[in-house]
Amino acid sequence: MSSTGHLTGKGLQAVPRFQHGSRVPGWDDAADLTKDPAGVPDPAVVEVPADLRAEIEDFMSRYPDSRSAAIPALRAAQERHGWCSPEAVEQVACVMRLTPGYLASVAGFYDQLETRPVGHRPVYVCTNISCSLRGADNLLAELQHELAGADDVNLRGFECLGACDIAPMVSVEGVYVGPVDEAEIPELARQIRAGEDPLPAKQLIRRPCQDPGAAAPE
């Protein structure tokens, strides 16, 4: 698709601008520049669910430097809030004694940490080389069509998920399935909507190693 469209005349789009005039979405478009940057939250003011606090503190205890727990802690908060919402980030910041700004910058780096409100159930379709050679782009388009309106699902294309042997493949909340045949897509979509075990026979966890040498037990 052309981004300039000077020859085809197609694809001409207005350049999106964010609130502060920036063309770059992300780190600054949610900030209110009239306010001072937020400091480390006051534990007396911020309420953190007890189980979340316990989980984060457990992560912090594993490392010589507790800051290492930033990613596991953000993931834990995201699992409860659905995304790294300002509230989720503030709770993590409160337990870890870091600023929300620091944690937001970390969250913005990683594909799995969502800095926008999205469905809380991640479904990734790999669209990288090996999968696209075997029909991944079509799979993503069909799934998008089938799952239209399922607001709790965060369906997105993803880079290579490390399962090119089952291309084209989908990760349904961490459960890898593939190769997904075209005819199976409606059934898969139905299972995703219903929260059922996706295509049980096609799950990666059940796939034997392909090496003939591996099959011969001594």
**Residue 6 CB, nearest approach to another protein (Å):** 7
Q: Which conformational region is residue 135 in: left (phi greater than 0), alpha (psi within -120 to 50 degrees), or beta?
A: left
Task: Identify residues 49-78 at the interface with ligand FES (CB under 6 A).
Answer: none
In angstroms, give the least distance from the CB of 149 to ligand FES.
26
> What is the nearest approach in angstroms of another protein to the Cβ of residue 109?
4
Binding residue for ligand FES, selected from 30, 40, 129, 141, defined by CB under 6 A: 129
Rg (CA), the chain: 21
Structure-token pair, residue 145: 């069509």
169 binds, options ligand FES, another protein, none, Cβ within 5 to 8 A by partner type: ligand FES
Q: How far is the CB of 104 from another protein (least distance, A)?
A: 11
Binding mask 145-174 for ligand FES (x = CB under 6 A): ---------------xxxxx--x-x-----
Contacts 24+ apart (CB under 8 A), 98-105: 98/40, 98/67, 98/70, 99/37, 99/38, 99/39, 99/40, 100/38, 100/41, 101/37, 101/38, 103/70, 103/74, 104/27, 105/27
Is residue 123 at the binding interface for ligand FES, with CB under 6 A as the rule?
no
Between 89 and 177, whose beta carbon lies closer to ligand FES? 177
Nearest residue (CB) to ligand FES, 57 versus 181: 181
Judged by CB, which is closer to ligand FES: 69, or 131?
131
Which residues are near another protein by CB under 8 A? 1-4, 6-9, 11, 62-65, 67-72, 74-75, 105-106, 108-113, 124, 127-130, 132-134, 158-167, 171, 173-176, 205, 208-218
Task: Confirm or reject binding of residue 126 to ligand FES (CB under 6 A).
Answer: yes
Please report whether residue 130 would count as binding ligand FES according to CB under 6 A: yes
| Residues near ligand FES (CB under 6 A) | 126, 128-131, 160-164, 167, 169
